[in-house]
Structure 1
């Protein structure tokens, strides 16, 4: 029987979940990723003294399938439970103690991008390939074009898992079916990665919505020992959606200055000397208004849009969307 060839655009949680599912049923899967690494916003940046989880900070599971996936990842040492001392914005900082979260929090082990490890299999992954156009050859086949004049295919089906605006740009030329992606609303996020020469002198390891400028701040390492923390002490700050919109085009130095000042104000302590500091802008960080369905298909079910933006702003939503998109492709091509 002729092999069924599937192209998947994006190697984040959605794309890799779809790729893994389709590969397991015998399809010939090729993944195209514009970046150098895998995981999308499950991102970590390495330094000479450790790593920064500068994208998603933790994940939770409410769907039984994703809960089982996290247990599988933990059994392979790719995930670990995380229970930081948490400061919430509605509680005075010096009174914060323990983790008041209702859900179990998980992080990748030893960094967030390891969460996708159980999904990476013997299918082909092309890194640093930005797909710019999908060409329809006939009702059943498609060719992909990248920004370096590369051409790939033909493929029997395509699943696009890029952020909603980029997915819409790729798919709208194919069919008005994909116009609904334009209703999705996403928010940007500025992230600052600051390493302090001495541990930040607080009783908490993370702050949730501490100020209008900062939606999240957390130590980027796990430690239960308040007195023997790693030096340098790495922290990740996420600006709030509105602050990020208001300062979207600011230069990185100005963003760093303003967010460190906000951290000093909300923590109530003098910030130690900086060892290093960087900033990263996520243009499409958080879904504020999702599509409302797990995926969107068209072109006789052979071109499918998927991503966390379909269901909501959670890593679990990305996993579920990838699974749903893969099952829809299987139904179309195998029945």
Structure 2
């Protein structure tokens, strides 16, 4: 079975789950990732004093398969439970504490991008390869072209797990079966990573606050001690989808200025001096209108689209979609 070659585009949760499943089924898998690292929006940025989880902040499990995966990741020391002192917005914010969430929250350990570690098998991963075109060689084989004029293949099948707009660019020219991807709506998100010289003087570690600007703010480290916080104190701020759309092309410095002002307003405290600050623009951060199916296939079942955007705005959705796409590919090739 190792003579069967499958290409996976995207090394986030969906792509790596598909790759791991196919590798364990005995196929020869090659993953193409446009970035320097793995994990997609399970993203962390390292600094000299710690890290910022500037993409997905935590994950939960409702599907038993993904719950089992999180147990496996915890056994790998790649996941840990997270129960921050949480504020939901409103008045007397500095007095708020306790996590009232019904689901158990998990983070990657020690940072979010480690959550994919149980999926990284000894298959080939080509980083910093942006695939720009899929070429059909015949009814059963395909070649991939990247932005540096590289050509890879032939492959017996291809699974694309990029964000919906990028997946549509690759697949809609190949077959009208992929046209429904155009109905998927994904929202952008500006993320600000601020490290304060002194701990932010609040009793909470995270804010879920539907203000016009900020939907989420959290301390990017775990600590149960309110009086001995680590310094510098790292925080990640996520803008709301609407605010991010309205300011999508704005200068990074202006984004930082406005979001820090919003944090000051919703926290009700004077912000300490900054040690460092940066911003990152996620153009395709959150699924607002999903496909409504676990995956979409065409080209006689040998080209499959998958990703969290198929089922919804959850890391669990990406895992389920990747698994479903892999099983669909196996069914096509051997069913």
Q: Tell me the TM-score range normalised by the shorter chain.
A: over 0.9
Residues 142 and 157 in structure 2, CA contact (< 8 A), matched pair in contact too: yes
Say whether residues 1:221 and 2:221 are aligned partners: yes
Q: In structure 1, how many angstroms separate the alpha carbons of the residues matched to 2:296 and 2:130?
A: 21
**Greater mean alpha carbon deviation, residues 82-91 or residues 170-179:** 82-91
Q: In structure 2, how many angstroms separate the alpha carbons of the residues matched to 1:186 and 1:246?
A: 14
Q: In structure 1, how many angstroms separate the alpha carbons of the residues matched to 2:268 and 2:7?
A: 51
Residues 13 and 116 in structure 1, CA contact (< 8 A), matched pair in contact too: yes
Structure 2 partner of 1:15: 15
Residues 79 and 108 in structure 1, CA contact (< 8 A), matched pair in contact too: yes
Q: Deviations over 1:66-106 (max 9, x none)?
A: 00000000011000000000000245413411001010000
Structure 2 partner of 1:141: 141
For structure 2, the 5+ residue unaligned runs are none
Residues 210 and 266 in structure 1, CA contact (< 8 A), matched pair in contact too: no
Structure 2 partner of 1:290: 290
**Structure 2 SS opposite 1:29:** strand
Structure 2 partner of 1:156: 156
| 1:185-224 equivalent positions in 2, closer than 5 A | 185-224=185-224
For structure 1, the 5+ residue unaligned runs are none
Residues 2 and 26 in structure 2, CA contact (< 8 A), matched pair in contact too: no
Q: How far 1:214 moved relative to its partner? A: 0.2
| 1:298-313 equivalent positions in 2, closer than 5 A | 298-313=298-313
Q: In structure 1, how many angstroms separate the alpha carbons of the residues matched to 2:129 and 2:68?
A: 32
**Structure 2 SS opposite 1:287:** strand
Q: In structure 2, how many angstroms separate the alpha carbons of the residues matched to 1:121 and 1:92?
A: 48
Structure 2 partner of 1:49: 49
Q: In structure 2, how many angstroms separate the alpha carbons of the residues matched to 1:43 and 1:238?
A: 13
- CA RMSD for the aligned pairs? 0.8
Residues 214 and 238 in structure 1, CA contact (< 8 A), matched pair in contact too: yes
Q: In structure 2, how many angstroms separate the alpha carbons of the residues matched to 1:165 and 1:134?
A: 15
Residues 73 and 115 in structure 1, CA contact (< 8 A), matched pair in contact too: yes
Structure 2 partner of 1:168: 168
TM-score (norm 1): 0.99
TM-score (norm 2): 0.99
Q: In structure 2, how many angstroms separate the alpha carbons of the residues matched to 1:270 and 1:250?
A: 26
State the 4+ residue runs in structure 1 displaced beyond 3 angstroms.
none
